[in-house]
Amino acid sequence: MKDAQWYPGTMARAAGRLQKDLRLVDLVVELIDARAPVSSRNPELERISKNKQKLILLHKADRGEKEINSRWLFYFQKRGLQAALSSVQVPATVNSFLEFLKRQKTQLRGSRFKRPLRLVIVGIPNVGKSTLLNYLVGRAAARTGDRPGITRGRQWVRLLAGVELLDTPGLLPPLLSPEAVFPLTAIGALPPERADQQQAAHWLLQRYRERGKMSVLLERYGGLEEDAPAKVLAQIGTSRGCLLPGGKIDLERAAALFLADYQGGNLGSLSLELPPQL
Ligand SMILES: Nc1nc2c(ncn2[C@@H]2O[C@H](COP(=O)(O)OP(=O)(O)OP(=O)(O)O)[C@@H](O)[C@H]2O)c(=O)[nH]1
Ligand SMILES: [Mg+2]
């Protein structure tokens, strides 16, 4: 599928809309996935929000490896960017985000006339924007889901007294770099039809191998020999009874199952991209 044909019209419209909304906001909160901070950053979002005050949240930090998360955080901060780790599974991270917002509100009050602090939450699909919003307001204000493209329109929500937040639909760049396709598939930011699921599964299996974490797969699927990704995928298929009529292994189903297990957090924490050595 060609990128130009794939890039949905709704996303192009949402990007245009966001450009207008940016004029109304004091702060842009960009959510990226802590496991893949390069691929999950949309350069288009960076470009259109470059004149705004920004906070980068390395979100779903609970799914990334602790030590690598810290290295990524250091990497962003070293480059002069405001950044923090974030996860709805780690309340301390959400609390420090709230404290940050309260400080921002006080500063705004001090410097300008009385109006609420307005922030917008942006990022690629499925990175956790609406879930974070719901967690912050303590109710299901926005629809969430484990698929990309859940939020369709924009939505303002009052977060605290004097702080308003705009939830936005996930945005991907119109042209994805080839290196980003598999990480984005692994974290569930791309619809399955966008990439070859078996190749994506091979790529992810390779990451488990590289990070020395094959034992996690052994525990989940049993009886795996450490071997080439294609063979491991076939073994996963066998162990999970993914069979086609006639008894051949249904590799497509095995790949979907394995990717879903990674996305669902059933395979421990695994970072997909490493920060450059500083
Ligand atoms: N492990 C983990 N999962 C999370 C976290 N935050 C969100 N999720 C999950 O990520 C999935 C996507 O969440 P959403 O909030 O719908 O993502 P979104 O960015 O609003 O997605 P779009 O509306 O499609 O752009 C859901 O299954 C959430 O439960 C987190 O901090 N840790
Ligand atoms: Mg959403």
Average pLDDT along the chain: 92
Please enumerate in sequence order all residues whose Cβ is within 8 A of that of 214, keeping only pairs 6 or more positions apart, or say none.
208, 224, 226
Neighbouring residues of the ion ligand 2, judged by CB less than 5 Å: 129-130, 150-151
Eight-state DSSP code of residue 243: B
In this prediction the pTM is 0.94
In the reported structure, the alpha carbon of residue 107 is separated from the centroid of ligand 1 by a whole-number distance in angstroms of 30
- The band of 107, judged by pLDDT with boundaries at 50, 70 and 90, is confident
pLDDT band for 8, please (50, 70, 90 cuts). confident
CB of 274 within 6 A of ligand 1: the answer is no
Protein residue with least CA distance to atom 1, ligand 1: 60
Kindly indicate the confidence band of residue 205, based on its pLDDT and cuts at 50, 70 and 90. Answer: very high
What pLDDT does residue 113 have? 61
Average pLDDT over residues 53-76: 98
Residue whose token pair is 């190749």:
199
Take atom 31 of ligand 1 and give the residue whose Cα is closest. Answer: 87
Predicted local distance difference test score (pLDDT) of residue 20 = 94
Q: What is the pLDDT of residues 140-182, one digit of tens each?
A: 999 999 999 999 889 999 999 899 999 999 999 988 999 999 9
Query: Does ligand 1 have an atom closer than 6 angstroms to the CB of 43?
Result: no
Cβ–ligand 1 contact at 42 (below 6 Å): no
The CA-atom distances, in angstroms, between 3 and each of 194, 231, 256 are 9, 30, 22
Give the pLDDT confidence of 48-58 residue by residue, as tens digits.
Answer: 999 999 999 99
Ligand lying nearest the CA atom of residue 132: 1
Instruction: Tokens for 20, please give them.
Output: 């207008």
Q: How many angstroms separate the alpha carbon of residue 56 from the centre of ligand 1? A: 16
213 and 254 Cβ atoms separated by less than 8 Å: no
Name the residue with the closest Cα to ligand 1, atom 24.
149
Give the number of the atom of ligand 1 that is nearest the alpha carbon of residue 151. Answer: 23
Q: What is the C-alpha radius of gyration for the chain, rounded to an integer number of angstroms? A: 20
Closest CA to 189 of 5, 57, 11: 11
Q: What is the pLDDT of residues 19-38, one digit of tens each?
A: 999 999 999 999 999 999 99
Degrees to nearest 5, angle at CA 150 with 59 and 140: 75
Tell me, what's the pLDDT at 2? 45
Q: What pLDDT is recorded for position 203?
A: 98
Residue 63 beta carbon below 6 angstroms from any ligand 1 atom: yes
Is the distance from the beta carbon of residue 179 to the nearest atom of ligand 1 less than 6 Å? Answer: no
Mean pLDDT computed over 242-267: 96
Q: What is the mean pLDDT of residues 232-251?
A: 94
List, as own/partner pairs, every contact residues 131-138 make where C-beta atoms lie below 8 angstroms and the sequence separation is at least 24, other chains included. 131/88, 132/31, 132/57, 132/59, 132/86, 132/88, 132/94, 133/157, 133/159, 133/165, 133/167, 135/88, 135/94, 136/94, 136/97, 136/98, 136/165
Distances (CA, A) of 79 to 74, 76, 82, 148, 205: 9, 5, 9, 30, 31
Residue 111 pLDDT: 60
**Structural domains present in the chain:** 3-167 (3.40.50.300), 196-263 (1.10.1580.10)
- 191's torsion region: left (phi>0), alpha (psi -120 to 50) or beta? beta
Measure CA of the first residue to CA of the last residue in the chain; give whole Å: 37
More confident residue, 223 or 134: 134
112 falls in which pLDDT band (50, 70, 90)? low
The CB of 129 under 6 Å from ligand 1? The reply is yes
CA distances from 208 to 166, 232, 251, 267 (A): 37, 11, 18, 10
Determine the average pLDDT of the residues in 39-64. 95
CB atoms within 10 A of CB 151: 22
